[in-house]
Amino acid sequence: MKRVVIFFVCALSASLCFAQEDPAHSAVWQQSVGGVILAPPMVQFGSVVAVIDAGNVKGYALDGSQLWNYFPGGRVAPFVTQSPEGTTYVSRSTGTLFAVSWIGEELWQAELDEALAHPVVCGTDGRIFAAGARNLWCFTANGRMLWHQEFDQ
């Protein structure tokens, strides 16, 4: 059985996302995303998730077909994270954190005191960590805040 590894290439300043079976060969698929990709896409669980400067987050199947298109409203921060369960975490540039299901439906949102300074981190125990410049938040996978720590400058 031939093993195929697919490489996803999405330039941060580009508006195309495409996949290659081997970097030495031509693209297997390419897809116009309707804007500029703001952050390195997440490739996990048979899908690719990209944050677009038009204010949306898009999910694509490995064959290039669009699975979903989520609009959190407002400008989107240049971070995207997927949990081991397939939940996508994105935020607005104003600091609202969103959890989006593997089918593109909003699961929950949390208002934070500031914009995120880093991508969300998913703990091995299911906890979600979000960090701003002066704050750190910890949430359960269902959006309940466990704790919040504010740091001095």
**Mean pLDDT over each residue of the chain, to the nearest integer:** 84
pLDDT of residue 111: 96
More confident residue, 20 or 12: 20
66, 59 contact by CB (below 8 A): yes
SS3 state of residue 101: coil
Mean predicted confidence (pLDDT) in 107-133: 95
DSSP 108-133: EEEE-SS--SS--EE-TTS-EEEE-S
- Give the pLDDT score at 21: 53
Residues 149 and 95: their CA atoms lie apart, in Å, by 15
What is the tens place of the pLDDT at every residue in 41-87? 888 778 889 999 888 999 998 888 999 999 998 899 999 999 988 89
CA–CA separation, 121 and 51 (whole Å): 17
Identify the residue with better confidence: 54 or 130: 130
